[in-house]
Amino acid sequence: MASAIRIGDLLKSRGFLDDRQLHIALIQQKVTGDMLGDTLIDLSFVSSAELAQSLAEQFNLEYIDVNNYVITEDALRAIPKELAEKIGFIPLDIEDGMLSIGVTNPSNVLAIDTVTKMTKQAPKVFIVDAEGFRDSLEKAYFFLRNPIRERMDSLINEIKTADTASGAAVTALADLIITDGIRKNATDVHVNPTASVVHIFYRVDGVLQFGHCIPKAAHAGIVSRIKILSQLDIAEQRLPQDGSFRFTVLNKTYDIRVSTVPTVYGEDVVMRLLAGSASLLRIDKLGFDKVNTGRIKMLFQKSNGIILITGPTGSGKTTTLYAALREIDLLERNVITVEDPVEYKLSLIKQTQVNEKVGYDFSLAGRNFMRQDPDVMLLGEIRDEDTAKIAIRASITGHLVLSTLHTNDAVTAIPRLLDLNVDRFLMSSALLAIMAQRLIRKICKYCKKEYTLTEQEAAVFREEGLTVASAFKGQGCLKCNGTGYAGRSVVGEILIVDDDIREMIYSGASIIALKADAVKKGMLPLHKSALMKAAEGLTTFDEVMRVSG
Ligand SMILES: [Zn+2]
Q: What is the CATH number of the domain that holds 269?
A: 3.30.450.90
From ligand 1's centre to the CA of 443, what distance in Å? 8
From ligand 1's centre to the CA of 311, what distance in Å? 28
| Cβ atoms 238, 214 nearer than 8 A | no
From ligand 1's centre to the CA of 405, what distance in Å? 34
Whole-number pLDDT of residue 549: 82
From ligand 1's centre to the CA of 476, what distance in Å? 4
Residue pLDDT, tens place only, 350-391: 999 999 889 999 999 998 998 999 999 999 999 999 999 999
Sign of the dihedral defined by the CA atoms of residues 480, 484, 489, 490, in that order: negative
From ligand 1's centre to the CA of 201, what distance in Å? 21
Give yes or no for residue 142 having a pLDDT over 60: yes
Whole-number pLDDT of residue 4: 45
From ligand 1's centre to the CA of 446, what distance in Å? 5
From ligand 1's centre to the CA of 75, what distance in Å? 18
CA–CA dist 227, 221 (Å, integer): 10
From ligand 1's centre to the CA of 442, what distance in Å? 10
Buried b (16+ CB within 10 A) or exposed e, 339-371: bbebbbebebbebbebeeeeeebbbbbbeebee
From ligand 1's centre to the CA of 438, what distance in Å? 22
Per-residue pLDDT averaged across 461-470, rounded? 96
Instruction: Determine how β-strand 266-273 pairs with β-strand 376-379.
Output: unpaired
From ligand 1's centre to the CA of 475, what distance in Å? 6
In a shared domain, residues 138 and 158? no
In a shared domain, residues 35 and 103? yes
From ligand 1's centre to the CA of 98, what distance in Å? 20
| Residue 215's pLDDT band (cuts 50, 70, 90) | very high
Whole-number pLDDT of residue 67: 86
From ligand 1's centre to the CA of 203, what distance in Å? 18
In a shared domain, residues 376 and 502? yes
Domain annotation covers residue 154: yes
In a shared domain, residues 28 and 72? yes
Considering 246, 273, 300, which residue would you say is the last residue of a domain?
273
From ligand 1's centre to the CA of 444, what distance in Å? 4
Give yes or no for residue 296 having a pLDDT over 70: yes
From ligand 1's centre to the CA of 461, what distance in Å? 25
From ligand 1's centre to the CA of 99, what distance in Å? 19
Domain annotation covers residue 529: no
Range of the domain at 415: 283-439+490-524
Domain annotation covers residue 535: no
CA–CA dist 255, 272 (Å, integer): 8
In a shared domain, residues 358 and 507? yes
CA–CA dist 14, 17 (Å, integer): 8
Instruction: Identify which of 530, 519, 328, 505 has the alpha carbon closest to the alpha carbon of residue 437.
Output: 530
In a shared domain, residues 27 and 128? yes
Instruction: Identify which of 516, 298, 314 has the alpha carbon closest to the alpha carbon of residue 404.
Output: 314
| Cβ atoms 250, 137 nearer than 8 A | no
Instruction: Determine how β-strand 448-452 pairs with β-strand 376-379.
Output: unpaired
From ligand 1's centre to the CA of 539, what distance in Å? 13
From ligand 1's centre to the CA of 293, what distance in Å? 31
Instruction: Identify which of 246, 244, 327 has the alpha carbon closest to the alpha carbon of residue 281.
Output: 327
From ligand 1's centre to the CA of 502, what distance in Å? 46
| Cβ atoms 116, 96 nearer than 8 A | no
Whole-number pLDDT of residue 2: 46
From ligand 1's centre to the CA of 158, what distance in Å? 36
From ligand 1's centre to the CA of 524, what distance in Å? 30
| Residue 280's pLDDT band (cuts 50, 70, 90) | confident
From ligand 1's centre to the CA of 484, what distance in Å? 5
Domain annotation covers residue 446: no
In a shared domain, residues 125 and 155? no
From ligand 1's centre to the CA of 479, what distance in Å? 5
Domain annotation covers residue 484: no
From ligand 1's centre to the CA of 5, what distance in Å? 40
The helix or strand, by DSSP H or E, that contains position 191, with its residue range, turns out to be: strand 188-193
In a shared domain, residues 316 and 189? no
E strands within 8-158? Answer: 62-63, 89-95, 98-103, 124-127
In a shared domain, residues 359 and 501? yes
From ligand 1's centre to the CA of 126, what distance in Å? 19
Considering 273, 295, 319, which residue would you say is the last residue of a domain?
273
Domain annotation covers residue 468: no
Residue pLDDT, tens place only, 59-83: 999 999 998 888 999 999 999 999 9
| Residue 158's pLDDT band (cuts 50, 70, 90) | very high
Domain annotation covers residue 463: no
From ligand 1's centre to the CA of 472, what distance in Å? 12
In a shared domain, residues 180 and 141? no
Instruction: Identify which of 465, 398, 477, 453 has the alpha carbon closest to the alpha carbon of residue 430.
Output: 398
Helix (H, G, I), strand (E, B) or coil at 257: strand
Per-residue pLDDT averaged across 20-43, rounded? 94
From ligand 1's centre to the CA of 473, what distance in Å? 10
Whole-number pLDDT of residue 478: 87
Give me the CATH number covering residue 99: 3.30.300.160
In a shared domain, residues 298 and 351? yes
Count of structural domains within the chain: 3
Considering 115, 145, 175, which residue would you say is the last residue of a domain?
145
| Cβ atoms 126, 100 nearer than 8 A | yes
| Residue 3's pLDDT band (cuts 50, 70, 90) | very low
CA–CA dist 165, 170 (Å, integer): 7
Give me the CATH number covering residue 379: 3.40.50.300
Domain annotation covers residue 261: yes
Helix (H, G, I), strand (E, B) or coil at 52: helix
From ligand 1's centre to the CA of 150, what distance in Å? 25
CA–CA dist 432, 403 (Å, integer): 12
In a shared domain, residues 434 and 310? yes
From ligand 1's centre to the CA of 209, what distance in Å? 16
From ligand 1's centre to the CA of 128, what distance in Å? 20
From ligand 1's centre to the CA of 94, what distance in Å? 16
| List of residues 6+ apart from 491 with CB closer than 8 A | 287, 437, 438, 439, 440, 526, 529, 530, 533, 539, 547, 548
From ligand 1's centre to the CA of 68, what distance in Å? 12
| List of residues 6+ apart from 252 with CB closer than 8 A | 135, 275, 276
Residue pLDDT, tens place only, 235-279: 999 999 999 999 998 888 899 999 999 999 999 999 999 865 567
E strands within 266-349? Answer: 266-273, 305-310, 335-339
User: Bridge-partner residues for 212, per DSSP?
Assistant: 200
